[in-house]
């Protein structure tokens, strides 16, 4: 692994899987990084943990992520399809310890608009 570059396995809503390289030294959330990779994430609230339009499932590597805060947990509690692996991508800042993280982007865009 190159310094400050990690690999993330991303499963999109349509089931397509892509392994992307993400820099860890740009001070961006996972949501912002996914948007930069042209994933269709609304991020309606701009990363404030107020809308859940960046809902993901962490398939592998959750043990290396920061614990969810109260605001994130409160927002996740409003979702009908929440699981123990649910997180909001806007609340995740990644470091070198997150190499080989595997996530799935959740919900349809229509669901996010309702």
Give the pLDDT score at 1.
54
For the entire predicted model, the pTM comes to: 0.89
pLDDT tens for residues 2-25?
Answer: 688 999 999 999 999 999 999 989
Task: Tell the CATH topology of 5-113.
Answer: Ubiquitin-like (UB roll) (3.10.20)
User: 68 pLDDT exceeds 50?
Assistant: yes
Residue 99 in this model has a pLDDT that exceeds 90? yes
pLDDT given at position 4: 87
Mean pLDDT of 41-47: 90
- Could you give the angle at the alpha carbon of 62 between the alpha carbons of 56 and 65, nearest 5°? 95
DSSP-derived 3-state class of residue 64 = helix
Give the DSSP H/E element, type plus range, for residue 109. helix 109-113
Do residues 28 and 61 lie in contact, with contact meaning Cβ atoms separated by under 8 Å? no
């Amino acid at each position: 692994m190159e310094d400050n570059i990690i690999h993330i396995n991303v499963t999109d809503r349509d089931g397509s899987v892509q392994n992307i390289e993400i820099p860890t030294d740009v001070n961006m959330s996972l949501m912002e990084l996914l948007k930069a990779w042209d994933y269709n994430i609304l991020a309606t609230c701009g990363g404030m943990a107020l809308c859940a339009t960046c809902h993901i499932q962490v398939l592998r590597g959750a043990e290396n992520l920061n614990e969810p805060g109260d605001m994130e947990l409160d927002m996740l509690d409003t979702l009908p399809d929440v699981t123990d692996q649910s997180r909001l991508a806007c609340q995740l800042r990644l470091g070198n310890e997150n190499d080989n993280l595997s996530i799935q982007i959740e919900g349809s865009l229509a669901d996010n608009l309702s």
